[in-house]
Chain A
């Protein structure tokens, strides 16, 4: 099982919204759909809720409730660690344990959009939005810490 060399070609498919779906019922099939909000090397959505659904909800649960097996994907819903934006920004960019780094696949605005969504939804209601510029600064800072 290994990675074949993958195309770096960026193909942005026309955005087609998915029908709502739940854990219990498969969505009605949409013939010809292959909009995944992503290419081989980046996510293409810009809206926080949509990015959460594409990138995060598969592991953390569709409502961010968290899941567990031999170990867990922690809940993002009602998570006190969201009180500072720095914590989720760090996790998204640097990863930790089962959480991989998404740094190469999300730009600063996308990271900010996800973090702002997480901090004001899923039962979290923390004040203050993080900006793309702040994410850019943290990205640089974390990378330097990593290198040192």
Chain B
């Protein structure tokens, strides 16, 4: 195997250009070499010439609101943020020991995790191409670590196949690829492709299927040491050293029919979707580190426990009324030249907001996904110790849908927190109707079918239903088709402009919140600087 290029690699070339001419020319060279950035993010906004004394009120201190406030203040605007909760961050939310979750309808859950343990109950991973978010993490000094998305040693599981026992993802993957390659090779050998492929192409195809599918000289995918190099070895037959049990043994592939009827194939492109391409990242210490980093910058602008009730637009500005959430204080009113509103449409559509009838209609028509997520702490990291699973995700057709193993503190002898369920659709509503203890019991009983250690090792857990989160009433936006309605939602209405993940093509991703916020403040600034 040779990685040695016969001519200067593109990277080496870029490095030479960069050294010779500075990074600016490296950027333009990258673009001209067809290496354009994979994101509309072009760095922090350059907003010069803000009018003296111009002001903006930002509604919501999630990532979109915090980002908008940070950049607007840097540009010279006078900024104030109103936030419903007593904390900043919105859905960028990490649950730790001592936290209390209050759900609509009166349920409370006290998070009992050990010191240092946490669950990211909202967003939990960052694609490497989410350049705005990664840039803000760098600028705001938020250390990142790798988030393991794909793990060949994690499981696929079906309650009704393989005796309900989990199957290693890598076994199913190698065997499925091998056997569909074998089938295609068979068809090719029988002349099935003669009408569509030249003799030469057919020969190359057979060669590629043999290589890609790890087929033998008869184009069969079978039990041998070559396939074991990909799918792995029997438990006691892995390659060793010395004399005792050292020589590797081949392993038996799973029959194609079993793979087909188990429907495991439906999971096999999960980790290869663009948004999940490796490597992914997570902040060290929890996703909320990002919110806290923003808060360090603009926390002084935030009024907490402020429930917005009314927005009125005049010729020259916007007036926002708010109540004090929960008791003390009187609430108040904020007047500003502009309003950047990051309140989710589930809530905004119910408030007295002075915008066009079209925008009001779009607010009512955009619906939000449901989601239920569970964080389960176990006394011992049995998935690592007993099953050699370090990070990654097990997928199952049980309602919990997945189990994600922590990417932090691998090999620790202490406890660990799993994402024990991530439920959408009707089953999420079923959990939404259950008391937290009943949800937890259901999640544990399912997880125990995959990991028998669950009952013995479980210490404490939380199960959150996003429809019961008082400041969200849902999880994230669910556009059927964006079209004209999206343009209406994303366009400034007089002096009021919306921002957040719902005003993006990246619903549910923090990158969408940031890019939306940057576009919203661009509209504010354009208006402010073009006004006569």
Chain A residues in the interface with B (C-beta under 8 A): 1-7, 9, 11, 18, 21-27, 29-34, 36-43, 53-59, 61-62, 67-73, 95-101, 105
Residue among A6, A61, A72, A96 with most chain B CB within 10 A: A6
Q: Which of B347, B425, B433, B474 contacts A53 (CB 8 A)?
A: B433
Q: Which 7 A-B pairs have the closest CB atoms?
A: A69-B470, A26-B437, A58-B432, A38-B426, A36-B430, A58-B433, A98-B346
8 sample A-B contacts, Cβ–Cβ < 8 Å, listed by A number: A2-B508, A6-B425, A41-B426, A58-B433, A70-B84, A70-B347, A71-B473, A100-B474
CB closest residue in chain B, given A61: B105
Indicate if the CB atoms of B435 and A98 lie closer than 8 Å. no
**What would 20 more interface pairs be, CB under 8 Å, given A58-B432, A69-B470?**
A1-B122, A3-B424, A3-B508, A5-B267, A5-B269, A6-B401, A24-B106, A31-B441, A34-B442, A36-B399, A54-B430, A57-B433, A58-B434, A69-B104, A71-B473, A95-B365, A96-B364, A97-B346, A98-B350, A99-B367
Partner of B441, one of A29, A98, A101: A29
Q: How far is the CB of A104 from chain B (nearest CB, A)?
A: 9
On B, residues with C-beta under 8 Å from A are 84, 91, 104-107, 122-124, 159-160, 263, 266-267, 269-270, 275, 307, 343, 345-347, 349-351, 363-365, 367-371, 395, 397-399, 401-402, 422, 424-427, 429-438, 441-442, 445-446, 465, 467-476, 478, 507-509
**Are A34 and B350 interface neighbours, CB within 8 A?**
no
Whether the pair A97, B433 counts as a contact (CB closer than 8 A) is no
Give the Cβ gap from A54 to chain B, nearest Cβ, in Å.
5
Q: Which residues of B contact A57 (CB under 8 A)?
A: 433
In angstroms, Cα B307 to Cα A68, docked, is 12
Task: A27 to B369: give the CA distance in the assembly, Å.
Answer: 27
User: Hey, which chain A residues are within 8 Å of B269, CB to CB?
Assistant: 5
Q: Would A72 and B470 count as touching, CB distance under 8 A?
A: no
Complexed CA–CA distance, A58 and B446 (Å): 21
Q: What residue of chain B has the Cβ atom nearest to residue A58's Cβ? A: B432
With contacts A70-B347, A100-B370 known, is A1 near B433, CB below 8 A? Answer: no
In the complex formed, the residue of B with least CB distance to A3 is B424
Contact of B351 with A25 in the complex, beta carbons under 8 Å: no
Report whether B425 and A71 are in contact in the complex, using a CB–CB cutoff of 8 Å: no
Task: Assess the A97–B364 pair: CB atoms within 8 A.
Answer: yes
Compute how far the CA of A42 lies from the CA of B427 in the bound complex, rounded to whole angstroms. 8
How many Å lie between the Cα of A18 and that of B430 in the bound state? 12
Find chain A residues with CB under 8 A from B434 CB.
21, 27, 58
B105 touches A55 (CB 8 A): no
Chain B residue nearest to A42 (CB atoms) is B426
* Known contacts A23-B435, A58-B433: A105-B425 contact under CB 8 Å: yes
Query: A59 contacts B349, CB within 8 Å?
Result: no
Residues of B within 8 A of A33 (CB): 441-442, 445
Q: Can you name the residue of chain B whose Cβ is closest to the Cβ of A96?
A: B364
Q: Are B465 and A58 in contact (CB under 8 A)?
A: yes
In the complex, chain B residues whose CB is within 8 Å of the CB of A34:
398-399, 442, 445-446
Q: A7 to B426, Cβ gap below 8 A?
A: no
In the bound complex, what is the Cα–Cα distance between A83 and B362 (angstroms)?
27
Q: Complex Cα distance A70/B427, Å?
A: 25
Name A's interface SS: loop
CB contact under 8 A between A69 and B159, given known A3-B369, A98-B368: no
**Bound complex: CA A21 to CA B471 (Å):** 26
Closest to B425 in A: A40
- Please, which residues of chain A bring their CB within 8 A of the CB of B363? 97
Cβ A59 vs Cβ B104 within 8 A: yes
Q: Which residue of the partner chain A has the closest CB to B266?
A: A7
In the assembled complex, the Cα of A61 lies from the Cα of B432 at a distance in Å of 10
Cβ contact within 8 Å between B429 and A27: no
The chain A residue with its CB closest to the CB of B475 is: A1
Contact between chains at A1 and B508 (CB < 8 Å): yes
Measured in the bound complex, the distance between the Cα atoms of B468 and A73 in whole Å is: 10
Task: Name which residue of chain B comes closest to A27, CB basis.
Answer: B438
Decide yes or no: A37 and B430 within 8 Å by CB, A6-B425, A7-B397, A100-B367 being known contacts: yes
Residues from chain B with a CB closer than 8 A to the CB of A5 are 266-267, 269-270
Are A58 and B347 in contact, with the CB atoms below 8 A? no
Residues of B with C-beta under 8 A to A18: 438
- Distance, CA A36 to CA B431, complexed state (A): 8
Within 8 Å CB of A38, what residues of B?
399, 425-427, 429-430
| Given known contacts A34-B445, A40-B426, A98-B473, A54 and B401 CB-to-CB distance under 8 angstroms | no
Smallest CB separation, B349 vs chain A (Å):
4
User: For residue B346, which residue of chain A has the nearest CB?
Assistant: A98
**Which of B263, B269, B473, B474 has the most chain A CB within a 10 Å cutoff?**
B473
By the criterion CB–CB under 8 Å, are B437 and A27 in contact? yes
Determine if B441 and A30 form an interchain contact, defined as CB atoms under 8 angstroms apart: yes
Which A residue sits closest to B348, measured CB to CB?
Answer: A71
Interface residue from A26, A31, A62 paired with B438 (Cβ < 8 Å):
A26
Of all chain A residues, the one with the shortest Cβ separation from B262 is A9
Q: Specify which chain B residues have a CB less than 8 angstroms from the CB of A21 in the assembled complex.
A: 434-435, 438
Residues of A within 8 A of B431 (CB): 36, 58
State in angstroms the CA–CA spacing of A99 and B366 once bound together: 10
Contact of B470 among A22, A39, A70 (CB under 8 A): A70
Assuming the A-B contacts A33-B445, A58-B465, A73-B473, are A2 and B430 also in contact, with contact meaning beta carbons closer than 8 angstroms in the complex? Answer: no
Q: Given A9-B397, A31-B445: A39 and B426 within 8 A (CB)?
A: yes
Interfacial chain B residues near A55, Cβ < 8 Å: 426, 429-430, 433
Nearest-neighbour CB distance to chain B for A114, whole angstroms, equals 12
A2 to B107, CA, bound (A): 26
Nearest opposing residue in chain A for B85, CB measure: A70
**Are A100 and B368 touching (Cβ within 8 A)?**
yes
In the complex, which residues of chain B have a beta carbon less than 8 angstroms from the beta carbon of A32? 445
What is the chain A residue whose CB lies nearest that of B474?
A98
Bound form: Cα–Cα A118–B438 in Å = 25
Q: Which residues of B contact A23 (CB under 8 A)?
A: 105-107, 435
Q: Is there an interface contact between A41 and B425, defined as CB atoms closer than 8 Å?
A: yes
